[in-house]
């Protein structure tokens, strides 16, 4: 399986969106500070993920969630409401 996941920083409240084939191990790497992009944003919480059988579809979804309308919709969903 291939995973697209969202982490939320307890430090700055911002989200990180990523892709992996091993969600449990990748989350552990983030938590231990082994990922440069999130090292200074720890602690992190896994707040959302999607799984796919096809790598290309998962990578396409990751790109969608990182910008544009899909990103806005995801953040609204995670915050529990619609922002005006």
Give pLDDT tens digits along the chain (84 positions): 999 999 999 999 999 999 999 999 999 999 999 999 999 999 999 999 999 999 999 999 999 999 999 999 999 999 886 554
pTM: 0.91
Exposure string for 18-43, b = 16+ CB within 10 A, e = fewer? bbbeebeebbeebbeeebeebeebee
45 in any annotated domain: yes
pLDDT of residue 44: 98
21 in any annotated domain: yes
What is the domain extent for residue 75?
2-79
Asked whether 23 and 44 are in contact (CB, 8 A), the reply is no
Query: Which residues neighbour 57 within 8 Å (Cβ) at sequence distance 6 or greater?
Result: 2
pLDDT of residue 80: 82
- Helix, strand or coil, per DSSP, at residue 33: coil
Q: Indicate which CATH number applies to the domain containing 13.
A: 3.40.1440.10
How many folded domains does the chain comprise? Answer: 1
pLDDT of residue 84: 45
């Amino acid at each position: 399986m291939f995973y697209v996941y969202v982490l939320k920083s307890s430090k700055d409240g911002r989200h990180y969106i990523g892709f992996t084939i091993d969600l449990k191990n990748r989350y552990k790497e983030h938590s231990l500070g082994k990922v440069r992009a999130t090292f200074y944003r720890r602690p992190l919480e896994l707040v959302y993920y999607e799984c796919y059988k096809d790598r290309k579809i998962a990578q396409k979804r990751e790109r969608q969630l990182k910008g544009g309308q899909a990103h806005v919709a995801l953040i609204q969903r995670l915050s529990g409401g619609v922002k005006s």
